[in-house]
Every structure is written in C-alpha cells, then in structure tokens.
Amino acid sequence: MKRIELRPDLRTAGGEVNDILVDGRYAGTMTLVYREGGRLTGSVQLDRDVLRARDKQRVLKHVNDYIQSFVLAVGAASCEVFVTYSPFEQFIVMADEEDEELVGTWKEDEDESEWQEAEYELVLVGKKRNRLHYHVYDERRRWIAEAHLRADDGKVTGSVRWRSLPDEEEIELVTELIVSDFDEDSVDEFLIDHRHDDELLETVELAHEEVPETKSSHVKKAGMRGEANFTAKLIRDDGDTLTYEIRSKADGNRTIGTATVDIRERRLTGFIDFRDRRHAEDAGAIAAVLMRELDKEKEYDGLNLSLMYRNRLIDEFIVENETVH
C-alpha cells in the first residue's frame, strides 16, 4: 500500500500550506486559511499527471481526515475547501536575484512590474527507438534550440544546435533540462555537444551524480565538500516549522537550497529543496551545519531529512547518534 504524507511547506498564524506526497513523490498541494473561531477555507490541488485515479480516493480520505481534525483544533464554525484534480498548467514563483533556476522571475523598474514564465521549456517532438528529438523554447515561446540525442546502454550522446549564440549560463541551463528528462537510474553518462552554425561551442560530459564538466571549466564540481563550505541561516520561524537558507562558499556564497524542519516532536522531520541536484552529494556536511543551528532552538533525538530536487524525492538522510545515509 502506498504511503501518503503531508509535508509542511509554510505555516503562519492564519494558515498553512502542505505538499501532498504519495510514496515520497509530490502529488499536489493543500492550502488552508482560517480565522480562529470563524471560517476555514482553502483548496486541495491534485496533480492528475502524477496521481493515478486509483490512488485519488485514498489521498482524499487522508486529506479529509486532516481537515476535520484541523477544524476541531482551531474551533472553526464553518469550513469550505475546494478540490481540483487536473494537470498543473503553470507555476509562478518569485525569484531571488541570485537564483538561476526558479520557475518565474520578478522584474521591476520605474514604470512597471511584470511576471515572466520559465526561462526555457524542453519539448519532445520526435522519438524513434533510442533516438530522441527535442525543441527548446524561451519564455516568449520562441524556438531557440533543438537537440538530437541517442540513448544506448546507460549513455546519452548527441548535440544541441542553437539558433542564436548562447552564453555559458544558457548552455548550462539547457543541459540541466535535458539531464532532468532522463531516469537517473538508467543513465550513467551524458556526452552533449553544443553548436551554433558550424561552430562547436562546448562539449559537456556528465557522469552519474556529477556536475557537467565543460572545456571552458566554468562549472565547478561540488561533490563531497566539508562543513566549512556551507552555512545555514534561519529565515523564517512559524512556531512549529523553521525554514533555513543554505549557502555554499564554493559557489560564491550563493543560496543553493532551503531547509524546512518540523520541530513539534522530539524526532525532527523535514526536507531540503536543492536548486541544483549535485549539492545533494553534500547532504552529510549540510545536515551537520543545519543540526548546529537546530541545537539553538530545542533539544531533539534525531533528524529525518528528505532531499528534494524540483519537487521530486531523490534521497533520504537520517541522523541518529551516528549519521546513516
């Protein structure tokens, strides 16, 4: 039987947001807003592309039981929660100025502010046996590149042809999009050429669980760094839930993820949402830094962390008297 969980994402005095997980995989979001002694309202959004119809009723029962207990806990006089079951069309996220990977970015000037959609979108336009053909589109739905790839015996090879000259960040982001489209358990190596017209711009070589290494070496490998490389800063305290910003000195002291920890029980639970999958390799060092900060808040018996990347569970990290991974 599949495991259904509610993972705290945000809690305030007037409401909360929880991710709905089925066997550790993101399947939707529940948002509840209330005024104590008054009205409880909210929404449950289930992702039909992820949650199978046969599992939907069990998920709804779990959510319904939680909402009923929530009503009793806050003494709400009325309750109204809307449920949807459909594909997610778009995510809108406010980005950090230093972030390169969030779905949306917020730009503001003297005259106007506007939301922009994802920088790039990867679309599979053709597949024949082990050969794949992708188009890459920008935020204005302009066709900016295409990729022809071949997957054989755990290795993906091919090329990306750009319609205009890209910069290094664009090459890196499109490479990450391609890698994320393949099952990590079935592919051990990527070898991708980036070309513009007849010019070879870069050759990206990526081994399983490594950072792309390019000829210009503008991407640094991050795996297995020590605790001194990382910092954890408390940026939000919602009472029972603490949120920390994780930064890496080797990456220019940039934010590499956020950690959300539920401290209601003696055994703490939470998750780290990484902005780059490669930093999950440093989970031991990051967890140690995080635990030092948690020691300032309360005494606890252990820590269970889910390691997440793009709303997908990629690993679990358990801390007892000794770290077990």
Q: What is the pLDDT of residues 59-102, one digit of tens each?
A: 999 999 999 988 888 888 888 898 888 876 555 544 444 444 43
| Residues facing 255 on adjacent strands | 247
CATH class of 122-207: alpha beta
pTM: 0.38
- What residue ranges of the chain have pLDDT lower than 70? 1, 36-37, 88-118, 208-225, 311, 320-325
Tokens 């005024």 correspond to 35
For CA atoms 173, 178, 180, 186, give the dihedral sign. negative
Amino acid 272: pLDDT = 92
Exposure of 225 in the CB half-sphere (CA atoms within 13 A): 19
Q: How far apart are the first and last CA of the chain?
A: 24
Tokens 């408390």 correspond to 234
**Is 138 within 8 Å of 120 (Cβ atoms)?**
yes
> What's the CA gap between 138 and 117, in Å, rounded?
9
What is the number of other CB atoms lying within 10 angstroms of the CB of residue 139?
A: 13
User: Which pair of tokens denotes residue 193?
Assistant: 């050429």
Sorted by where each begins, the domain ranges of the chain are 4-86, 122-207, 227-324
Amino acid 108: pLDDT = 37
Amino acid 245: pLDDT = 93
Amino acid 52: pLDDT = 82
